[in-house]
Structure 1
Amino acid sequence: MHKIGIYFGTDTGTTRLIAKKLAKKIGDAAARPLNVNRTVVEDFLSHDALILGTPTYGINQLPGKSTNIAAGSWEEFLPELDIIDFTGKKVALYGLGDQEKYSDRFVDSMIHLHNFFTEQGATMIGQWDTDGYRFTTSKAVVNGKFVGLVLDQQNQALLSDERMDRWLETILPQMEGV
């Protein structure tokens, strides 16, 4: 298996913490996790398998300067990838959100990453069941499933490790040989 690229956007550091936990669980097959505000396109493209993480800030927005992340995030990085064909690359997403405080837009930011990479030709993997979450609405639900792993570190932090383990069991075999 080639190194799996793990990239994230963050403001408070929680999405970074999850990226580091995922990398540790994956072991040698994972590259060192990197914040997209410190990433160059060439490094990002060097991976055929990607795990991408995002927090949810704002209303129906990608995290970035418009959501008061001073150093920038996905909002600023994705335009750098706009003309790139991701055909042949496998992309799995994870997103963080607060299902109680933001029940009406729970993990909405994930759909923006999902739509972008789908439109660029990537094979999206790692959809996740909505069972066990309490929310009203999420744009990140497509065909009855979240478009990636969902973690709520505010209300269900004790479930995160087990959820990460189960999710990795499903995506890692799909990333082998990429």
Structure 2
Amino acid sequence: MTAVIFGSTMGNAEEAANKIAANLGIDTVLNIAETSADEINGFDKLIIGSSTWGSGDLQDDMDAFDFSELNLSGKTVALFGVGDSSSYDDTYCDALGILFDKCSELGANIVGATAAPSFDFTDSKASKDGGFVGLALDFDNYGDQVDEQIANWCDQIRANFS
């Protein structure tokens, strides 16, 4: 069973989570603020996303969640993040990189790395080996590209979540 889990303050990460779930035919979309570790541990595959908040932090509800209670060992996990590449170009989608580190430390099998977005940013914790550790979205400046980015990413990860 698969769940899409998000942390969102302004609604963009929630919108992305719902679009990803719809594209992949996943019925369970959970707000991290209303979800326990026990509930998450009941799923064998997860798609997790957060907006980047403040100066490169996880969204508040995602930040408050105790990841140490999760059992991700051997589970398939894909990650997405939402950021603002213009106003916060030096911390663009840092939450995605933080999620990657947390999930990796817990033994997750992370899938869904992407090429770096075509738009400009200075730095990101999610940038590794010339690409990104998951799907990096920018609703604020490149909202017209979000649906296509999500569709392409879902096509890329679909075999891992069917």
Superposition TM-score tier, normalisation by shorter sequence: over 0.9
- The corresponding residue for 1:9 is 7
Opposite residue 129 of structure 1, the aligned amino acid is A
- The corresponding residue for 1:68 is none
**Structure 1 residue 58 corresponds to structure 2 residue 54:** yes
2:21 equivalent among 20, 23, 31: 23
Instruction: Provide the rounded CA distance (Å) in 2 between the counterparts of 1:127 and 1:56.
Output: 18
The two structures, once aligned, show a CA RMSD in angstroms of 1.3
2:62 equivalent among 60, 74, 96: 74
The structural deviation recorded for 1:84 is 4.0
Instruction: Provide the rounded CA distance (Å) in 2 between the counterparts of 1:62 and 1:114.
Output: 12
Instruction: Provide the rounded CA distance (Å) in 1 between the counterparts of 2:69 and 2:92.
Output: 29
Instruction: Provide the rounded CA distance (Å) in 2 between the counterparts of 1:24 and 1:61.
Output: 27
Instruction: Provide the rounded CA distance (Å) in 2 between the counterparts of 1:118 and 1:145.
Output: 17
**CA-to-aligned-CA distance 1:42-80 (integer Å, 9 cap, x gap):** 21111111111100112232221xxxxxxxx11111x2x
- The corresponding residue for 2:120 is 134
Instruction: Provide the rounded CA distance (Å) in 1 between the counterparts of 2:37 and 2:117.
Output: 36
Opposite residue 75 of structure 1, the aligned amino acid is D
- The corresponding residue for 1:165 is 151
Q: How many aligned positions are there?
A: 162
Opposite residue 63 of structure 1, the aligned amino acid is Q
- The corresponding residue for 2:83 is 97
Structure 1: stretches of 5+ with no match in the other structure: 65-72
Instruction: Provide the rounded CA distance (Å) in 1 between the counterparts of 2:69 and 2:8.
Output: 24
Structure 2: stretches of 5+ with no match in the other structure: none
Contact 2:96–2:136 at 8 Å: present in 1 too?
no
**Structure 1 residue 35 corresponds to structure 2 residue 31:** yes
- Is the radius of gyration larger for structure 1 or structure 2? 1
